[in-house]
Amino acid sequence: MSVYKIDLQYFGSIKYYYSLINQTNIVFCTDVWLDKALHLNRTELIGANGPLLLTVPLVGGRDKRQKLKDTLVSYTEPWQRIHWKGIHDSYRKAPWFEDYAPGLEQLIKEKEKFLIDLNLKTMNWVLSRLKLKIDILAENEKRDTLAEQASAPKQKQGSAVVFPPYQQVFAERHGFIPNLSILDLLLCEGPSAKKYLQNGNLF
């Protein structure tokens, strides 16, 4: 059985989910040092005033040296309310917001103790909406960083990364913004998001 190794992201980017579109088994490593450069606790959307970066605060802060399996989510600030308000205010007029909003709001407002559990839940929610049947496995093998264990599709030599435009909520104000959070694609395209990932010329 071939497996595809990933880093476990909080509402990963469109490019991230494009890399999973043809996978059936994916693996993430739990016993790794958290690399803040990978942004495992943040996602980027677009709002009326431009880019909207949503970050899940961590106990000890992002600079604390800790392993993914031990990384705790902090609730000293109301980040869940902030995240949902940002999504609601930015996407309430998106074509598929009403369809996904109830489940999405509930998901965000659940209190997970560990970042790994939060990210796993968000991934399962996204895969369910994309109707992708992928087995997600965890391995405890020790590795230095997630960056060393994560596999990514190889870009064809001489080709450029291209994100075909789709109708975004604030396109008339900011133009098309490529490779945002998968939430942007889902809320704007709905069930067509899967077809976009399957047919898109992203590499």
Inter-residue contact 46 to 52 (CB < 8 Å) = yes
Q: What is the pLDDT of residue 162?
A: 75
> Computed from CA positions of residues 169, 181, 154, 157, in that sequence, does the dihedral angle turn out positive or negative?
positive
81: three-class secondary structure by DSSP: helix
* Structure-token pair, residue 166: 């789709």
Model pLDDT for residues 8-28, shown as the tens digit of each residue? 999 999 999 999 998 999 999
Pairing of strands 42-47, 50-55: antiparallel
Banded pLDDT at 88 (limits 50, 70, 90): very high
Please, which residues have CB within 8 angstroms of residue 157's CB and are 6 or more apart in sequence?
none
Phi, psi values for residue 33, rounded to 5°: -75, 135
> Which position has the higher pLDDT, 62 or 86?
86
Angle between helices 182-189 and 115-130 (to 10 degrees): 30
Q: What is the pLDDT of residue 160?
A: 57
Confidence (pTM): 0.87
Q: Which helix (H) or strand (E) holds 87?
A: helix 79-91
Percent of the chain with pLDDT over 90: 69
- Position 51 pLDDT exceeds 90: yes
Model pLDDT for residues 136-186, shown as the tens digit of each residue? 988 865 544 443 334 444 444 444 567 889 999 999 999 999 999 999 999
Model pLDDT for residues 111-137, shown as the tens digit of each residue? 999 999 999 999 999 999 999 999 998
Q: What is the pLDDT of residue 33?
A: 82
> Which position has the higher pLDDT, 77 or 150?
77
Residue with tokens 């961590």: 58
Please, which residues have CB within 8 angstroms of residue 105's CB and are 6 or more apart in sequence?
84, 88
Q: What is the pLDDT of residue 144?
A: 44
Q: What is the pLDDT of residue 35?
A: 78
DSSP state of 61: -
Query: Of the candidates 147, 112, 129, which has an alpha carbon nearest to the alpha carbon of residue 29?
Result: 147
